[in-house]
Structure 1
């Protein structure tokens, strides 16, 4: 991977102190440092999480321009991105000081390449900034920045996956980094699959829930498309949920085959839990108990139950 250009800036105190991004000179060691960070982002292993730019966003065209801009325009555009991050960090209570990097890389000569934005946590007070130029130097900061494995936030465009606009790395629950660059990130597959199970149990009548879950187990794809498939093939009760998922600004999470309802269903009451695999949910019946003025959970099994701890 060839590092073509990099601009570095600094954000402190959630934007109250800022050093504007500027192009920096770098040698083999600095290029290796950046390559490892960008490579960490672009080789992200969770391929089920995807992103989508918000409707009407100018971010895709701005990122595309980076690959052909002259040096002055590169720095000016990097400042636009850093200013967007500063504005977003001002709304967060836990945004830490950082070095902001805009890195242009390519895998081989002739390619337009990728634009990667890195929010690198660092003890920026310890960095020896160049007073004469007001710029940040990579050589000085290299020992203060985290290794690629500790990277907290990054954004890389374009995404090679057809279903995703950009690769996002964001380890925290704070979404200001995503908001800064007009991007919405899908839930992980585990969340999407749990959401689908919950929707079926809430919307489909009890006598048909088993059939709906059995059908859902065979399907794969974005949650909204799976809901559409179910609603048009036997389960019209899911039409509203399918419509809401389709119209959501957030891209739907990816549902995987044989993963829906992989976790047991749980009936809870008065401190008692009954856990049953979804395939055996028909073996559980909840009925009124007139004598106790409450409820009974009746579980039918082929073999004699044994107590365990």
Structure 2
């Protein structure tokens, strides 16, 4: 599966599997990135907010020094919420950390603005401890800045992250460049089918993060996942990562452990029965209003997700 790719609306090929670096243990991210690239990964997903793009850059540099070509690696970064009125500066900060001239894809991390003149570069807070958010900001204005970045050559494509159907429907009528990607939390306990369907209809590629249900992998013990894993003689994590391939989505596997990084490459082809079992599980959770969203920062903003509205 390391070689499997999907085609973006820009004409670029994007790998079906990538290495995620969010919450990567400090001091281990460089080795993880270098190891993943050596093992066969060709997509590295990062963000300014993660605070480890310097280590990601060191891992990339090590792989390039060993003979891997820059054009063979798909690098993703994201403009953080304190930079959504200064997208070019946000991109340049990431490029400087990564040690690159360009990224392959640059995403709006969340559709909001946190105070760019606040008391912290990433997480400014008000005196009462709440996030310092500028609520008059319109996320469409951020997209207009993102569109200008393509002509600079500093990113090959632009997209969004954590966009609900409602937010996408607000954005699309104003977009002269359609987002290439929407990166969202996605797994059988949060299929977000309404967003996935809209993106498919609009030619926007889905990238799935937290495919195991975020830290600790709470979905690894879900009964249908275990059942399919036993049937194929593979770990439950393999089933959860493989779930995205028939959906036509790219999936991000996060690990800093070399053996886990290697194991995550071994995706399988789920058959029609497997897909039905997982979809039935999702449908049941939906009917019971038991969808599980594991990543939802305390912004105090209503982003339009049905499970949070």
* Normalised TM-score (structure 1): 0.21
Higher strand share goes to which structure? Answer: 1
* Normalised TM-score (structure 2): 0.21
